[in-house]
Amino acid sequence: MDLSKFDPEAVKLFLEEATDMQDQIEESLLTLEGDPSNEDAVNNAFRGFHTIKGGAGMIGFEELQKYTHEVEFLLSDVRGGSRNVTEELISALLSSIDCLRGFCSELEGKDNFDHTLAESSLAQIRILSGDSNKPEEPPKQKSRKQSESIPQESVGKSTPKDNCSRYLIRLKFSEDILESGGDPIVLLKDFHEQGECYVTPHCHSIPDLEFLNPTKLYLHWSLVLSTTKTMKELEDILMFFVDEEGVEIKLIQGPPEETKIKKDINAGIVEATTEKPRHSNVQESSKFKSPNQEEPGLASISQKSKPNFPKPNTPKKKDESGGSIHVSNLKLDKLMNLVGETVINQARLKEFGQELRLADRRMGDIYQQIVYDSDIVVRELQDQVMNIRMVPIKGTFLPLQRIVRDYCVSSGKKIKLQIFGGETELDKNVSEKLGGPLKHLVRNAMDHGIESIEKRLEKGKSEEGTICLRAFHGEGHVFIEVQDDGAGINSEVIFKKALAKGLIDEKAELDEQAIFRLLFHAGFSTAENVSDISGRGVGMDVVRQEIESLRGSIFIDSKVGMGSTFQIKLPLTLAIIEGMLVQVEDQVFTIPLLSILESIRPTVDQFRTMQKQGEVIEIRGEYLPVLNLSKVFNLEREKKINEEEICVIIENNKMRCGLLVDRILDQQQVVIKSMKENFFQIPGIAGATILGDGRVSLILDLPSLMIMSFKQN
């Protein structure tokens, strides 16, 4: 596809909008499948396609515009109630979203989209809408033809169409409609396509040239439309203008008075009077009816000013979004970086304040007051910026619905996906990276957890399996659970399997948790058969790694026959952690505070050795392995354990150990800087942070440190 013909800025905007819309449509379709009578869902889906169609038209992407038009057509039947929601219909619509995504990624210049997919999807859509034989007529040509031949056509065609209804449509928009992207011409064209349409423009509001504001709309129109379409269908065309006061549709019955109207076309306002007698025939009024519609006659067409009554029942779509804007991740990251720098500088200012106070107490006090004041602002700023990055986890959960649905169709199992706490917020980066692992867990639950229908019935369970996705805040973390009511995990089977694979020793005494943890071991798979969905044996290992790279952890809880729960615990954000600064020799390291249980100053006789080397420390009757940073990091001097040493007890993944440090310096929030940006990942180091004095402090990566330390010894 030749991308150069598009305006890159417009394309960018379109893509942002389209991406949002695709997700929304998908969500609506899935809701609709579960609840076919849900009108909101149909409307949302329809609106979504319509918006994409409009956007595609705006950037001039005709292929996509045509495509969405067809889909919209099918959906409008569903809206009108003339078509039932079937699985086939939903499948077709879902695959059309895939096509939309394909179009979009091509537009983005990412992947090439296989346009035959769109063709076949389109064919499917057409078959469904019973429209497959209808030759396609380009709308442009059609409207031109119509406008050229209005008089002849109107006389010739209208007589056979006995079942035509006639509508009077008034389009009087607010003056600034153009600014909000409304395009009356599109609307007029749309009505043109519905049947025979006579348009009367009203030009009398146009001010003198010197007062004319080119961004404002001064024209309004009245249309007389003969069509087989129902009121509802016409309303759909106007669906984006329901907020407009002067937009209304009226049904006029009775024989068409062709000759009269033809005269009126050029007469403009005169039309109002000629139409007057017909008013008695008005039977049905649309919900777009404005308050002053009750006034006698159709004189209101040409009325210039109307009272600005609020309409209580009109849905205000714009308000739902709360007026949000799209900001690129890059900008957000930059802002975050700057705030991080400010926090660092703030710490430096504070440090200097203490020195200043020693030199000049009065000045120091004033200075410190200022620093504290700005400290409050900086903290608040930091919180707010962090807050911007927070998104509801719903966005990560919803694509899973689709996966569950597709799996059910292909496997014959019946599975219901329930989502709780979708509004729980977490860092956008975390949320995005969580998609993969969650997908895997859900697939696992479907494939290995939930049993087949027969098996479930045998066990006295309901035919339909349930997978619950739960998200909630707690302990300064976000918890995410994937729970199924399937077969559960048999710890004995895992134990035997691990034995067979040589992952554990026969004599190993493991509690249930430890056995479950074996599942996360590389190369472990409990699935008897490897399917394309899951069970390749690398999955859980990758899940664990990905969760750990997000500084989270994962636990399994399971009862045979009852189901399993995978619980993921994640930090709220990746950008900042609460850290404890410790000194080891002349280096300052940062330990994530969340891993620290306590700090003690042990006596020499609390340390024991095993086989002369492995050190352990005895704390209240419990022996914990000792992690000696000087040793693990090969720092220059290797010290003997002495009285001065402080032992920080840390816990990771339910494993505890003592970390020896020389001094504890401070506890503060630190901004995590990536080592990978200019270097590469160093084992045992999670990242780096910049201290108040501008020095770099490495943040310890406790899980990998534990491995390094205890596997080497």
* CB nearer to other proteins: pick between 528 and 677: 677
Intra-chain end-to-end CA distance of the chain, in Å: 60
> Quick one: tokens of 43?
């409307």
Q: Which of 14, 39, 57 is CA-nearest to residue 190? A: 57
Considering the complex, state which of residue 361 and residue 695 has its C-beta at the smaller distance from other proteins: 695
- Minimum distance from residue 527 beta carbon to other proteins (Å): 24
User: Residue 481 CB, nearest distance to other proteins (Å)?
Assistant: 29
Q: Which is nearer to other proteins, 41 or 686 (CB)?
A: 686
**Residue among 16 and 351 whose Cβ is closer to other proteins:** 351
Report the nearest approach of other proteins to the CB of residue 217 (Å). Answer: 50
Residue with Cβ nearer other proteins (331 or 362): 331
CA distance 417 to 398: 10
Whole-angstrom Cα distance, residue 688 to residue 587?
A: 13
Whole-angstrom Cα Rg for the chain:
34
Q: How far apart are the C-alpha atoms of 94 and 402, rounded to whole Å?
A: 9
Query: Cβ closer to other proteins: 235 or 585?
Result: 585
Q: Which amino acid is residue 375, in one-letter code?
A: D
C-beta closer to other proteins: residue 658 or 687: 687
| Under 8 Å between Cβ of 481 and 460 | no
Q: What is the closest distance, in whole angstroms, from the C-beta atom of residue 590 to other proteins in the complex? A: 11
Question: Which residue lies nearer to other proteins by CB, 341 or 383?
Answer: 341
Read off the tokens for 255: 């024989």
Shortest separation between residue 673's beta carbon and other proteins, angstroms: 5
**Closer residue to other proteins (CB): 281 or 337:** 337
Least separation in angstroms between CB 111 and other proteins? 24
CB closer to other proteins out of 658 and 684: 684
Q: Is 422 in contact with 392 (CB distance < 8 Å)?
A: yes
CB of 573 vs other proteins, minimal distance in Å: 18
CA atoms within 13 A on the CB side of 626: 25
CA gap 438, 394 in Å, rounded? 12
Other CB atoms within 10 A of residue 318 CB: 10
Distance CA 38, CA 316 (A): 19
According to DSSP, residue 102 is labeled H
Q: Give the nearest distance from C-beta 505 to other proteins in angstroms.
A: 18
Residues contacting residue 341 through CB under 8 Å, at least 6 positions apart: none
The Cα 131–Cα 89 span in angstroms is 14
For residues 96-122, one letter each, b for 16 or more C-beta atoms within 10 angstroms of the residue's C-beta and e for the rest, the string is bbbbbbbbbebbeeeeebeeeebeebb
CB of 352 to other proteins, least distance (A): 17
Nearest to 500 by CA among 516, 518, 517: 518
Nearer to other proteins among residue 274 and residue 587 (C-beta) = 587
d(CA 197, CA 190): 10
**Rounded to the nearest whole angstrom, what is the least distance from the CB of residue 12 to other proteins in the complex?**
24
Catalog residues that contact other proteins under the rule CB under 8 A: 337, 340-341, 344, 587-588, 632-635, 673-675, 677-685, 688, 690, 694-698, 704, 707-708, 711-712
Task: Describe the strand order of the beta sheet including 587-592 as a list of residue ranges.
Answer: 663-671, 576-584, 587-592, 696-700, 685-690
Q: Closest by alpha carbon to 413, among 331, 484, 513, 491? A: 484
Q: CB nearer to other proteins: give 293 or 704.
A: 704
Using DSSP bridges, classify how beta strands 696-700 and 587-592 pair: parallel, antiparallel or unpaired: parallel
> What would the DSSP string read from start to end of 398-411?
HHHHHHHHHHHHHH
Q: Is 293 exposed, middle or buried (0-12, 13-18, 19+ CB in 10 A)?
A: middle
- Write down the least CB distance from residue 633 to other proteins, Å: 3
